[in-house]
Structure 1
């Protein structure tokens, strides 16, 4: 069984010194007129947790690990490998208690997000880091975790299309968009939208030229075989089938969101 599973480690020892993209690749740098954006080193902290969806992490990681003058750490309660909900192994670099101040905090989603919604250790960590971070970036239902930590009150935000209706319980202005930028908070919709969101974050923190260089390095020019990536475009029977398969989890998320609304004193009309 072990030979059929793979573990992803962001660094063999500690944080990844970023600016390149693996053996044989040169660092991705900005143009001289962006030097003012490059002066400060960026500490990027990406939350990992059991039963997350790895695409919420690995898509943005491909972008953010190419930010000039930055380092990335995967953070969790301990450094034991965790499995995403499809079975992919992920190895945290550092414990939450060991993490220093983070300039960019990334909060992914996935079914395991439910276990974080009332976890005071995780929520306190997010709240503390967000208070001094230059940017907080949520992907998919990671927005719900940020909401539970009190970060969405009065902010515009997006999340996976199956959970957009839950954002109001955290005091957010829900936007059914692929990426939403509200000040220092950036949110991306479901899964692959994390790549688009990460490019926007790269632009915010390192300028448009650096973000464009990263996009080119990734050869990110999607041409999906089907125009079926949003319920407004997908056939009705496919939308209905997917809703049915996720009905139980969506109901659970609704119940959790309502408890969060009560705790955060967010008035909501159902």
Structure 2
């Protein structure tokens, strides 16, 4: 009984410390009277053949001329970390979107789905947008993969947007690119991991700092991707994607963040994460130190 009371007290304290998470209300899509009148007139003359002109009138012109989008994939990548951004960003106009693997051959997601990537990192030297999804074992290993880090830093030199989802932020952080930048990541030991990579915890569902975009776990990658699309193509285009997805989440119960989750659920989830993450990181850190000694 005493242990339960202690756990309850610690959980309440932990959640109280996390209550500074920033929750922003979605923006309303606004339209001027002049634009409304102009589009209303266009509607009278609309036909499928002239839809390109109509689209430009409604959506406007993009901020950047985006041509290439790459999403990193590897064994153990989280399915939705990957497919959420792939679906949203895949609706960019006239853009080549590729799944880029660390190695040749098929990869298997954390849920066991086999995916055939479009190409490998060795074949890609330039991208306009790079997205790094998270996962579990494969992601932690990628956070210690120096060759991958070199590739990410090389690609980052050409990108208009470099982003990461969930624990994929750990991989991006390991490259040094997030140093002194505001960032978000998965809820598990969020501040600890961000500070490890000298990033500044933002306590947001997704965060933009310059060209770097990072998000909290899994579903937050879709919100981040929609925000990127809004930044490039404007709010109306992002809203069109949302309507295509019928994206208006209404979960059956309150949850999804530590603040909204029952204390006992918080405790068991963190304990389960500890059991898998900590031993793996310890072994990779030991290997890293051993390699340093060999080099010396």
2:108 to 74, 78, 83: 83
2:79 corresponds to = 54
- What is the match of residue 96 of structure 1? 121
Matches of residues 116-195 of structure 1 in structure 2 within 5 Å?
A: 116-165=142-191, 166-195=193-222
Instruction: Give TM-score scaled by structure 1 length.
Output: 0.80
1:63: which partner in 2?
Answer: 88
**2:131 matched residue in structure 1:** 106
Distance 1:104 1:140 in 2: 17
Pairwise mapping of residues 161-240 of structure 1 onto structure 2 (< 5 A)? 161-165=187-191, 166-240=193-267
Q: Tell me if structure 1 keeps the 8 A contact 2:141–2:284.
A: no
1:147 Cα shift? 0.6
Are 2:62 and 1:37 aligned?
yes
Q: Secondary structure at the match of 1:44?
A: strand
Q: 2:73–2:102: 8 Å Cα contact kept in structure 1?
A: no
* Counterparts of 1:30 and 1:221, CA distance in 2: 23
Summarize deviations over 1:115-159 as a string: whole Å, max 9, x none: 111212211111111122000110001101001011110100011
Cα offsets for 1:48-83 (capped at 9, x unmatched): 001111110001111011111211000013341111
Given that residues 34 and 207 in structure 1 are in contact (C-alpha distance below 8 angstroms), is that contact kept between their aligned partners in structure 2? yes
Cα distance in structure 2, aligned partners of 1:162 and 1:207: 33
Q: Which has the larger radius of gyration?
A: 2
CA distance in 1, matches of 2:249, 2:263: 24
TM-score, normalization by structure 2: 0.73
2:60–2:234 contact (8 Å) kept in structure 1: no
Deviation at 1:209, TM superposition (A): 1.7
**In the superposition, relative to structure 1, how do residues 198 and 139 fare at CA in structure 2: closer, same or farther (>3 Å)?**
same
Higher mean C-alpha deviation, range 73-82 or range 140-149:
73-82
1:40 CA displacement: 2.1
Specify the SS of the correspondent of 1:246.
helix
Aligned length in residues: 234
Return the alpha-carbon distance in structure 1 between the equivalents of residues 256 and 55 of structure 2. 32
Unaligned stretches of 5+ in structure 1?
1-25, 263-270
Alpha-carbon offset, residue 252 of structure 1: 4.5
2: CA distance, partners of 1:106 / 1:235: 32
| Unmatched 5+ stretches in structure 2 | 1-50, 290-296
Name the SS for the 2:258 alignment partner: coil
